[in-house]
Amino acid sequence: MLDKMGAMMILPLLPYIATQMSGSAFAVGLMQSLYSLMQVFGTMVLGALSDGLGKRRILLVSLFSSSVFLLACGLAASLSQLLFFRACHGFFSGTVCICQAIVADVTGPEERVGKMALIMAAYGVGVVLGPGIAGFVAPFGMLAVCATASVCTLINFFLAARQLPQDGMKEPTPLKEAEEDGGQAAAQTTVVVWKRLLHVLLADPVLGAVCCISLLQEFAMGIYMGVSPLLFKDVYSITASQLGIIFCVAGTSMIVFQGFVVSRFVRIVGKPASILCGCTLRLLLYSCLAAFSQPLLPVLSAVCVVAGGALIDPCAASLTSDRAPKGLSGVFMGAYQSAASVGAFLGPVTGGLLYGFSQAFPYEVASVACLACLPVVQLLWMRARSKDRHGPSPSPQTAATSDALLDKDGQADEDFVNLQEASPSLSRAMTRLRSVADLRADMFQLPLPTSQRADRSLRHMDRIVEDSSEQLQLKDRSRTEAFSQQRSRRALSSGLEKEILRRYSMDALDRLIPSNWSTEDLPREES
């Protein structure tokens, strides 16, 4: 929330800053596009590093760096310096994927959409407070606004350092090391994963469709965010303070939708239908902005934009996390956020160029982008209905790869079931190794040239997987031998107890009954 608040404080001032520094509409769009472009690299690098080095460490470094570059934006003496500091701030602002990966790791599939919506609601609070505070601080100058934003981000840094648990504080054990080998292998092959991630997404229709929707929607949203401040200033004569109030209203609407509407709506209609409703709502909005000019349209447009995003973003993020292998949630959420950042980069600069030709032209292009999302959402809907009708069917390639990893003696399924029943921790470790092997097999089927560095990384990953599998098999054999010895000891103990009782009973009878005793000595009843 505080991170988003600091980023949103500068947004209402962008058209006025560009005017003071002799900038144009293209300069305003370029400023936002550079911010989004650096978010692409930020989400890629930070998301991959968070899987290998720990989410807490990467998050703290990102928050502190964002605070520094926000303050530097206020000290910029020229437009070029402002563009540079804004780009650096964008690189370290790619922390959404880390937060979503943390939520995906600690929640189940049923409650994941609601938790993702709460994250977006917290960002909505930042959207509300950021422009509002900027509207009050704006009369004191650009430096005051940037310093306030830097302080908010620094407070977020201290809160995260205090509240988030330490990474890697538990004592290492052989079982724990084996369980984490899959994540280490994924971190060591980050270059290979990112070189071929596009092809993996194309091989999985759901992931490819979600990233396509994210790119197109953020492209249209980038056009709106880059051009609307200029449109509101030129057509409606809206000041910086009034623009801050509009963004406050939009942020309040986001909180209401994310906190009270989205979870219930998704449970009723499903994730693909929610994405379809959000895309349709934004399509109608951009069409109205291109065709009409009404006094209430600025406020109404801001509310509709965040309402559509409230329906699209949590559902798309949840679908991405559901399809990501265990241990690679940061990488795949980083891919999803990178697709969004690519669209957010292309949107403002495209809108700035088109705004010079016509004030309605940018919104027409945004409408076409939203219209292109509808067939992709239809694909998601058909896949979801097919899954509900026939049930989930695992990929033959995935099953074969998993069996090849676990089955070296022809008993993969039975051994894995026994292992899963004997030790849940061992089964989690084997599942981690299976997910890494599945991703590797998916990438190896693609006809792409592999560099020497990638070959070394993949060979190292193979060695880690093989060593971990052998270690787990040794652990399983030792556990089986221990169980057998324990059963033998129990059987031996039970036999000894029975023999002792039998011999004690015979000795007692010999002492109590004379040896020459017979049944004739018993008293007889008189007839």
Query: Tens of pLDDT along 441-469?
Result: 444 444 444 444 455 555 655 666 566 66
**C-alpha R_g of the chain:** 32
pLDDT tens digits, residue range 248-263?
787 778 778 877 888 8
At 446 the pLDDT is 40
CATH number for the domain spanning 130: value is: 1.20.1250.20
Residue 206 placed within a domain: yes
CA dihedral sign of residues 492, 494, 496, 498: negative
Residue 46 placed within a domain: yes
Residues 76 and 129 in one domain: yes
Residues 500 and 372 in one domain: no
In the chain, the amino acid numbered 371 is L
- The DSSP annotation for 39-66 comes to HHHHHHHHHHHHHHH-HHHHHHHHHHHH
Residue 243 placed within a domain: yes
**The pLDDT of residue 235 is above 70:** yes
Residues 374 and 425 in one domain: no
Count Cβ atoms below 10 Å from residue 379 Cβ, excluding itself. Answer: 16
Residue 94 placed within a domain: yes
Q: What is the mean pLDDT of residues 493-521?
A: 57
pLDDT tens digits, residue range 8-65?
777 767 666 766 776 677 787 888 788 878 877 887 788 778 777 887 888 888 889 9
In the chain, the amino acid numbered 28 is V
Residue 523 placed within a domain: no
At 365 the pLDDT is 92
Residue 54 placed within a domain: yes
**Apex 179 CA angle, 178 and 185, nearest 5:** 80
Residues 426 and 475 in one domain: yes
Residues 134 and 243 in one domain: yes
Residues 363 and 444 in one domain: no
Tell me which of 488 and 90 has the higher pLDDT.
90
Residue 521 placed within a domain: no
Residues 70 and 125 in one domain: yes
At 169 the pLDDT is 41
Residues 375 and 426 in one domain: no
Query: What is the C-alpha separation between 259 and 253, in angstroms, rounded?
Result: 10
Residues 133 and 39 in one domain: yes
Residues 268 and 328 in one domain: yes
Residues 196 and 325 in one domain: yes
Does the model's pTM come out above 0.85?
Answer: no
Q: How many domains does the chain have?
A: 2
Helix 25-53 × helix 329-355 angle, to 10°: 180
Domain that holds residue 440: 412-509
Residues 34 and 156 in one domain: yes
Residue 407 placed within a domain: no
At 174 the pLDDT is 38
